[in-house]
Homo-oligomer: A and B are copies of this chain.
């Protein structure tokens, strides 16, 4: 089956999510908006969503509705992207550079706003277009609508950013029955011209019908197939003039049947309707969805470029192709591209003919056809010079479309080249090293999010592997391994050096060990911010959550994915980048942090204002965090140490203690463990600031949940299961998220913070003796809602500190701060600042409470909310600036008013999100803290935020 024309219909299929070829979709459409580097003008216009194109302000009359280009001159240029669209502005710029561009003109975006309504164009616009067409006729010596020597046009809408496949080009506009009749009349003299005109007419009708009249191309394809079948013609057979005449007749009949009017013969009517269709496409619902995905505001509108047709399909000395000025996979400085002899641009994507390479030896085993370099060495050299010229001029690697008409090269558009994340980094660094751009610009050129795949293994896209289902891509990276349902099995496999995918309905703190041993995590419930997701990102493990169609029976240890049954030990693969769950084991690409990466990060650190810390506590994560450049810890969750087997036993003993004696001995044991772990931690962090959060979760999280476990645990603890069950029931909570946790526990059981404070101080003293460096201790009180709570806990800490200092005969230096995660704490940040040394915003819980959303339960309406546009983005991924952000802004103001110079930081997941980081920079926070694997992303994003802010874009 031939690959279908990649037009609006195809995109419709994509946006309706029926596409299974997921990585292609990602490459072709998404990366354009995400990983792409931006020209300066673009970055600036990104500042505010409602900014209007510059020219609009200057040209207040908005009288000029056509900008011509051609013959080495142009109205407008590269700075006019908001007005002329990327395509129009760059074509004008190339003309100015004297590069070979077919002449034409661009209708600016302002016309979309002012001269177009309800499918109709204004008279004023039409008049100016007619005038521009006159100039074009003079330049080309052809006449629009002339049967003998017609001026044929392409009509290409183009917005400020490339949106390929969304808004399509009408080609060969200007043909009609008369031109065809004239060509047929001259058939004997010019048989090729005749065939060519007919072929073009057929294609024009089809594309016009699709784009302007809304008739699906499939209908025409079927007519064509039926015709071939009826004549017994093979699919690839050349069609004769007669065949083409017949087919054109059929095509016109289809149009008439669908529209109740004959195919339009007046070239001006064709033109007006094509322009109107271009404008209309900007408003259609599929473009709207794509715009939303890419964050492109509707207000930008689209420009439309009308250009003389050049033909790559007029014989063996004609060709069509594209090139990138650098290798877009690796970033190497060399040409790359594809071309086809005797073909039109869209054939490159048709797939009927396989295109050949541009450079000799560009791909291994390069195919039978000669490379462009071999086919036309002189044109290849010309392209080489053009490439150099464009890079010098546009200061970036470019992607260029070209056509060779009768041996002559024409450029049809240039835009920043799409590139892989890896290439993006190398290109930015090398452009700076070549002196084309500043190091600042190089730092701004790389999308922080694009670093993420470089830090994790990724699926090799060139392999056959079945996607079983798709969940929420909750933590990046890919992993293959045997299905495991419990910690024991995960640890056994880990010990053998084998991969394991831990599968669970939803995880809780008791699953941390299993997650830690496994190579990836799959859950059937939860969203981007469920426990599984947050923990997995913290551990740098791939994770897919809320996977629909995954049914888990943890007791029988079987798994049902989209109707297929798997049992413990069966191999599966998860891709945390796309949410895909795949059968079997898959080939991976492994991360390599190359030289360019290191260079870029060092530049970023130079320009960065905010400190970047990590949220981590386990030795492996701590080391990972240091490797990735964390400057300290912003959140060390002390309770995680109690989920290790020894800790779990001790904390359960504490919870179940019935005598003072039992309780004390359990606490002593916990103190030992805590001190040991903290000693490790201080040693690894070697004097960097370390924020240690006191015990936070509700106690019931440490007790078993399943009936079986209850019996086992009761046995092991030597108590009756009735007693254990009673205690579980006592501790049960309706809404544990808002329950007896955080400093509330510290107030009810002051012996817990007392034990923890002692462990912290003793560990720090021990490490200082050992490594001769003093630890920078920051103790954080969690879940504070009011100052009175904070003061009570602080008093316990200060008391222990005084005791320990006296025992050791030393002075202890430490700071005590509050975690701001309850809205009230943000509302009273002034009061808290009175007695806290620092405030750290825990934006995860803050988002949950400000929005009234339990992240563990959000999966039920999350996708609905995103698809219906209730949320623009998942508020657990990108900070909800309007809501949570308002509270944060007020809180920082209140806090600084009360205590100028107080340290304010972020330790929620948003600390690793680039968009949120720009907001934190604007708040002037001292530091951001995130999962170790997000640290490089945060470093780059923080640098960009600083740079943009310095430029007044912050």
Contacts and interface: CB of A to CB of B under 8 A. Distances in A.
Given A734-B857, A747-B870, A788-B870, A880 B740 contact: no
Interface in A293-308: none
A337 interface: no
Contacts of A733: 854, 856-857
Nearest to A831: B882
Interface stretch (A158-166, A604-612, A845-853): A845-853
A822 B740 contact: no
B852 A822 contact: yes
A189 interface: no
Contacts of A849: 738, 823, 849-850, 852
B848 A792 contact: no
A737 B736 contact: no
Interface stretch (A312-320, A511-519, A858-866): A858-866
A827 interface: yes
Interface stretch (A124-132, A483-491, A802-810, A883-891): A883-891
A747 B852 contact: no
A887 B868 CA distance: 29
B789 A848 contact: no
Contact of A850 (B737, B744, B823, B831): B823
A263 interface: no
A58 interface: no
Interface residues of A, number: 49
A856 B792 CA distance: 24
B735 A737 contact: yes
Q: Is chain A's binding surface mostly helix, strand, loop or mixed?
A: helix
Nearest to A742: B852
Contact of A738 (B737, B747, B864, B884): B737
A262 interface: no
Nearest to A737: B735
Given A792-B868, A822-B851, A824-B851, A740 B861 contact: yes
Interface string A94-120: 000000000000000000000000000
A881 B883 CA distance: 21
A928 to B, nearest CB: 22
Nearest to A783: B852
Contact of A887 (B747, B789, B823, B871): B823
- Pick from A747, A849, A852 the residue with the most CB of B within 10 Å: A852
Contacts of A823: 823, 849-852, 883, 887
A93 to B, nearest CB: 40
A880 B831 CA distance: 15
A840 to B, nearest CB: 16
- 4 cross-chain pairs, A with B, having the tightest CB-CB distances, nearest first: A735-B854, A822-B852, A738-B854, A824-B883
Given A739-B854, A747-B865, A786-B871, 20 more contacts: A734-B854, A734-B857, A735-B737, A735-B738, A738-B848, A738-B854, A740-B857, A747-B861, A786-B882, A786-B883, A789-B870, A792-B870, A821-B852, A822-B851, A823-B823, A827-B850, A827-B882, A827-B883, A827-B886, A831-B882
